[in-house]
Amino acid sequence: MSGKRGGSGKKKLPKKQIRAIQGKLEERKAKLVKILRLEVGSSGGEPESIDNCQKELQVSLSLRDRERLAMELQAIEAALKRINSQNFGICHDCQEPISQARLESLPTAIRCIECQGEFEEKARKKGFSYDRIAVLKAGS
């Protein structure tokens, strides 16, 4: 069984590419963790490790922003887990490889663009808000 793919450019991401994405995700994750921790610690806790990102981080987050960041963090952790278990870049629904361009612009994507479209359509019909969809995207 040699599969139905005819080399149409839809192939798994090269390892090197995955490493690069992994690096980006880890960087972003560290930043998010810092933002969320600083925010939580703002009521008395002493912030360790203050660096030149501080000014940027001092912006007070609304609850909504914080939720969004927490969700993003979740999605990133899930993506890193998929990288470790070699599932990264495979669509959750159709098991086909997700296109490289999509992964580069959205490394936390768990579905190919077609499946994501269908998924969001369905979610919308069920009345989920966009934020709700983002949670579902995070996969947990």
Sites of contact with Zn ion (CB under 5 A): 91, 93-94, 112, 115
Nearer to Zn ion, 83 or 97 (CB): 97
Nearer to Zn ion, 18 or 112 (CB): 112
Exposed e or buried b for every residue in 67-95, given b needs 16+ CB within 10 A? eebebbbbbbbbbbebbeeeebbbbbeee
Nearer to Zn ion, 83 or 89 (CB): 89
Nearer to Zn ion, 35 or 91 (CB): 91
Long-range contacts, 27-34 (Cβ 8 Å, 24+) = 28/72, 28/76, 29/73, 29/76, 29/77, 29/80, 32/69, 32/72, 32/73, 32/76, 33/73
The least CB distance from residue 61 to Zn ion, in Å, is: 33
The least CB distance from residue 116 to Zn ion, in Å, is: 8
The least CB distance from residue 115 to Zn ion, in Å, is: 3
Distance CA 47, CA 74 (A): 23
The least CB distance from residue 31 to Zn ion, in Å, is: 29
